[in-house]
Amino acid sequence: MKHEKMLMLFVLMGLFILAFIVLTLANMIITQITLDFSGLIDTARDSMVWRSIWLTLYTAFLATVIAFIFGVPLAYVLARKDFFGKGLIEGIVDVPVVVPHTVAGIALLTVFGAHGLIGAPLASYVKFVDALPGIVVAMLFVSTPFLINSAREGFQSVDPRLENVARTLGASRWRAFYKITFPLAFRHVLVGAVMSFARAVSEFGAVVVIAYYPMIAPTLIYERYISYGLSASRPVAVLLILVCLTIFITLRTIAGVRRDDRD
């Protein structure tokens, strides 16, 4: 009986933190709908709002794709190989999580700015500051750890002996990877990509430093809040959260359905 009392207590404590998250978001959405529904309708007709939401999703998607292309191989190496300095590499992967995002923005601006280490030689081809590539690099910087860490966990959960067996059966390293290891780690990679994408969509601090324009949704919300106050910014926030939740729930459902295949 004792441990059931403990469980009850744990459930209550858990409910507290859940209520904190749900109440905050639900209250904003409900307040908007009940007190200022027409404001929400007006915002939904505002093409500038939709452009910024679309830009946010598009740039976040690009950042996730880049994180996937370069992060998955790194995750595989970290999962499979032991080498000198591996701890350092793993630390570097986590750095973007601990760096304040405005700091990340300043650093990115320094590197990708017109006179920066990377920005200068590329100046005649790509412009980062106040441009789409700037948004993407800012999102990429803050979101990669989620994809890499989740994918690494996924690859670690696949017994390397499965690859060994596949190879004795005639599969090359490549084939063993895409026929055996990747499918078995897929759910982890997908969850990592979803988290990475979500993190990119929600990024504000780093983006606003390197690319205030074109405005992604978080920047637009901030700008409207500063210029016109809560009533102007809240409907945009509500729209963004509804779009994000829809995407997030859909992707989680896809990842969740596949869970049965794995564990």
Partner 1 sequence: MIEIKELNRNWREFSLTNINLDIKEGEYFVVLGPTGAGKTLLLELIAGFYHPDRGEIWIDDENVTSLPPEERRMGFVYQDYSLFPHLTVGENIEFGLRLKKISESDMRRRTKEIGDLLNISHLFHRSPRTLSGGEQQKVALARAIVIEPSVLLLDEPLSALDARTRDVLREELRKIHREAEITTVHVTHDQTEAMFLADRIGVLMGGEIAQVGTPGEIFNAPINERVAEFVGVENIIEGVVESNEDGVAGININGHRIEAVSAYSVGDRVRVCLRPEDVTLAFSRERSSARNSFKGRITQMVPLGALTRVKVDCGFPLMALVTKRSVEDLGLRKGDEIIASFKAIAIHLIR
Q: What residues make contact with partner 1 under the rule CB under 8 A?
A: 159, 161-162, 164-173, 175, 179-180, 183-184, 261-262
Burial class (CB in 10 A: 0-12, 13-18, 19+), 119: buried
| CB closer to partner 1 out of 16 and 83 | 83
Contact of 230 with 149, CB cutoff 8 Å: no
State the residue for tokens 């469980």. Answer: 7
CB of 191 to partner 1, least distance (A): 17
CB of 257 to partner 1, least distance (A): 14
| CB closer to partner 1 out of 127 and 175 | 175
| CB closer to partner 1 out of 249 and 257 | 257
Tokens of 93: 């992967």
**Spatial separation of the C-alpha atoms in residues 11 and 4, rounded to whole Å:** 10
**Spatial separation of the C-alpha atoms in residues 247 and 72, rounded to whole Å:** 22
CB of 78 to partner 1, least distance (A): 18
CB of 154 to partner 1, least distance (A): 13
Q: 225-243 burial string, b = 16+ CB within 10 Å, else e?
A: beeeeeebbbbbbbbbeeb
Cα 169 to the center of its chain, rounded Å: 38
**Spatial separation of the C-alpha atoms in residues 107 and 128, rounded to whole Å:** 13
Phi, then psi, of 42 in degrees rounded to 5: -60, -45
| CB closer to partner 1 out of 130 and 261 | 261
| CB closer to partner 1 out of 163 and 223 | 163
Tokens of 112: 């990708």
**Amino acid letter, residue 150:** S
CB of 152 to partner 1, least distance (A): 19
**Amino acid letter, residue 40:** L
CB of 138 to partner 1, least distance (A): 37
The sign of the dihedral angle between the CA atoms of 230, 236, 242, 245 is negative
**Spatial separation of the C-alpha atoms in residues 206 and 134, rounded to whole Å:** 10
| CB closer to partner 1 out of 51 and 167 | 167
CB of 74 to partner 1, least distance (A): 23
| CB closer to partner 1 out of 16 and 174 | 174
